[in-house]
Amino acid sequence: MTTALDQLKQYTTVVADTGNFQQLGEFKPQDATTNPSLILKAVQNDAYKPLLEKTVKEHASKPMGQIIDQLLIAFGKEILKIVPGRVSTEVDARLSFDIKGSIAKGHDIIKLYEDSGIDRKRILVKLASTWEGIRAMEVLQKEGIHCNMTLLFSTAQAAAAADAGAQLISPFVGRIYDWYKKSAGADWDEVKMGGANDPGVQSVRKIYAYYKKFGYKTEVMGASFRTINQITELAGCDLLTISPDLLKKLAESNDKVERKLSPEAVANDPVSKIDIDESSFRFLVNDDAMATEKLAEGIRAFAADAVKLEKLIEALK
């Protein structure tokens, strides 16, 4: 019988969400995504310590930021030996409100890949979906550097990113789900709020419908999944980036997977055009408690893991 993973691949481009490149061959994803937390987790694994130690040794005399960049690119290069498509490499979250710094870091990332003989078309530079991150992305996209807008929790962020020409966005399904479940507390009903009613699933569906209705070319890649059900409810989304644990469960399942998203399926979804400028963006994100809290929380967490990674590197110098 056809596995759930193979069925999903008929409707959606499957992406692996991991820094553990040794697991990639098993699931044959098209692309792969990384972030500071995934890289931190990977370098603490004995299998990847040699890569960390080699990178630090070769670049020990350079500033810490450059060593981090070299490590990210080292992982990205290994991933690109396995996946046929693209890898996403993230800009330091501490630059989330720094337009010039984010642009400079995007240039650094692309140069390191190109100096290694890798075409920039295979790289997605990941930026936080702040107003400043979106403005940096707009500049990079015009230069032919494709960007993946991450930490995205609202249609306002998605609309601003598409208006600015993002190649791809990554709305965070699981983190949205987490917020609503925690907010509801004892009143949370997993049966009623699961499946198609899952708030994270609904958010991605709304964004997908918005892009299809208004003709945006920006790719939608659902991310940050907690359950198989969240994934299968978004079958048909442009891309889905999935952790190795959930990829394994999909590969071991023979449950039927039906297409849930398509331009035709969302044609009658009630979505209205959003006119976005800086003030309206800031108000709409601020007016959405979930988006505001999860965006801030995500930036803090990625920044904290970047600091932890720096401490590991410092100990090896």
Catalytic residue annotation: 126
Determine how many CB atoms are found less than 10 A away from the CB of residue 27: 18
> Rounded to whole angstroms, how far apart are CA atoms 64 and 211?
39
Q: Convert 190-252 into a string of H (helix), E (strand) and C (coil).
A: CCCCCHHHCHHHHHHHHHHHHHHHCCCCCEEEEECCCCHHHHHCCCCCCEEEECHHHHHHHHH
Q: Are strands 168-171 and 147-152 parallel, antiparallel or unpaired?
A: parallel
In one-letter notation, the amino acid at residue 247 is L
Cα 63 to Cα 14, 56, 59, 60, 314: the distances in Å are: 36, 11, 9, 8, 11
In one-letter notation, the amino acid at residue 122 is R
CB-based burial label for 79 (10 Å; 0-12, 13-18, 19+): buried
Helix, strand, coil in percent for the chain, rounding step 5: 55, 10, 30
> Rounded to whole angstroms, how far apart are CA atoms 280 and 205?
22
Cβ-Cβ contacts under 8 Å for 210 (sequence gap 6 or more)? 155, 158, 159, 216, 271, 274
CB 309 within 8 A of CB 39: yes
Cβ-Cβ contacts under 8 Å for 277 (sequence gap 6 or more)? none
